[in-house]
Amino acid sequence: MLHDLQRQIAIFPLDSVSVKGIKYRMLNWSKQFSILVFLDNNSYSSVYPGYECLLAAGSVKHINTDSSDELGELYNLHNNNKDWVFGHFCYEYKDRIESKLHSKQIGKVGFPLVDFFIPETVCYINRDKTQLTIESFKDPASIYNDIMHCHDNVQVSLPEISFQHTVDKETYLKIIEKIRHHIFDGDFYELNFCCEGFANYLGLEPLAIFCALNTISPAPFACYYKTGDKYMMCASPERYVSGVGNKVFSQPIKGTAPRSSDLVIDLRNKEELYKNIKERAENVMIVDLVRNDLARCCETGSIHVDELFGIYSFPQVHQMISTISGIRRSDLPFTDVFKSTFPMGSMTGAPKFKVMQIIEDIELSRRELFSGTIGYIAPSGDFDFNVVIRSLFYNASTGYLSYKTGGAITYDSIAENEWEEMRLKAWAMERIFKTESNK
């Protein structure tokens, strides 16, 4: 085990307490730590087990990030301690999985390629929102008291910031046509192309950014992440991969339609998304890719498509989501799921290896944590990881603030429409830095 100390566990009822207020108190309390992960379900219903929110704060042990076998280090960290483990993989971890891939862009935020840790304290609210559980190597009652004495809101205002973009509209349209020519020539079927928006601003309050983003764009895989001077504020609607017992499942998103305040138009947009041949083609290609990936680590014949073309609604967009599951092979460690499936097909395209090579040639900035993943492994070995999209990234030492947005390009893609979809996804992130008169 980690050391002679054992985690103490205490449960506190929330019957008369605002859950939203408790979340803010937990976040304000966690600011004292140099590393933390806060995962928020934002009250979305789900048939899968999980938490309304989950906070990991402080670190008692990290994996060796200088190792040449991070997956082995991660497996040993969990297996030897049977404890909570939280952390992330950056998109460029693909280069460790596929030795023939090489990322040439330089990261400007600076997240480690991979980082996992056993937290000092874990706090979580159950899905029913009736209790707060605190597991810590310190006294849970004292921690609860400290949390309850923190503010139940975050009132720091955000400055007005104008973002620059690595790709203007004219260049974007030309790149989309170039991708379509590749598809016509048979080089690949689908490619996820992403662009960056960025700004420089020292002195931002990352927690205020997360709370603003999470308010206007609440999502079931939202995350606030701090590691040293690097921060991520995430409003992701997408699950990358989860494991419950020996069952593994993934829920790729492919297919987007705008929301409308007009209920008739909103319903029409939703129905048109479900019927849209192009969006279905994008989705089914990724479903096939995920089935193939899961087959590498699951029992033969166990792969199933549990839901195809499910339509789910979020504050700014409707999304087409499919669910694929399988039974993990008993002779493989849980880390082989990451080895077999990372990076997620919804953020690459098909066939995966070829499009990852092309992405390196056409994208103008390193993805880093964007289209990577962050999540947790429970003491039981169950795990849940998101797809890092709809996110802002900030280096507090340099003031570099960025986000990335993109979409899947197929031969049927209309460049102008792809530009509009990409800007729609960026809207929520840019909007929080506008004055009221400009919103």
Q: What is the pLDDT of residues 160-173, one digit of tens each?
A: 999 999 999 999 99
In this structure, are residues 159 and 42 in contact, taking their beta carbons and an 8 Å threshold? Answer: no
Low-confidence ranges of the chain (pLDDT < 70): 1-4, 65-66, 435-439
- Is 368 in the active site? no
Please state, in angstroms and rounded to a whole number, the distance separating the CA atoms of residues 433 and 398. 19
Residue 222 lies in a domain: yes
User: SS3 string of the chain?
Assistant: CCCCCCCEEEEEECCCCCHHHHHHHHHHHHCCCCEEEEEECCCCCCCCCCEEEEEEEEEEEECCCCCCCHHHHHHHHHHHHCCCEEEEECHHHHHHHCCCCCCCCCCCCCCCCEEEEEEEEEEEEECCCCEEEEEECCCHHHHHHHHHCCCCCCCCCCCCCCCEECCCHHHHHHHHHHHHHHHHCCCCCEEEEEEEEEEECCCCCHHHHHHHHHHHCCCCEEEEEEECCEEEEEEECCEEEEEECCEEEEECEEEEEECCCCHHHHHHHHHHHHHCHHHHHHHHHHHHHHHHHHHCCECCCCCEEEEEEEEEECCCEEEEEEEEEEEECCCCCCHHHHHHHCCCHHHCEECHHHHHHHHHHHCCCCCCCCCCEEEEECCCCCEEEECCCCEEEEECCCCEEEEEEEEEECCCCCHHHHHHHHHHHHHHHHHCCCCHHHC
Residue 131 lies in a domain: yes
Count of domains forming the chain: 1
In the set 129, 254, 404, 425, the catalytic residue is 254
In the set 238, 282, 363, 368, the catalytic residue is 238
Closest CA to 342 of 308, 390, 313, 374: 374
Residue 1 lies in a domain: no
Residue 180 lies in a domain: yes
Cβ of 203: how many Cβ atoms within 10 Å?
7
Residue 17 lies in a domain: yes
Residue 381 lies in a domain: yes
pLDDT at 129: 94
CATH number assigned to the domain comprising residue 53: 3.60.120.10
Residue 3 lies in a domain: no
Residue 227 lies in a domain: yes
- Which residue range forms the structural domain that includes residue 218? 8-151+161-438
- Is 278 in the active site? no
pLDDT at 437: 33
pLDDT at 396: 98
Cβ of 140: how many Cβ atoms within 10 Å?
21
The pTM of this model reads: 0.95
Cβ of 14: how many Cβ atoms within 10 Å?
18
How confident is the model over 30-39, as pLDDT tens digits?
Answer: 999 999 999 9
Opening angle at CA 192, ends 90 and 389, nearest 5? 45
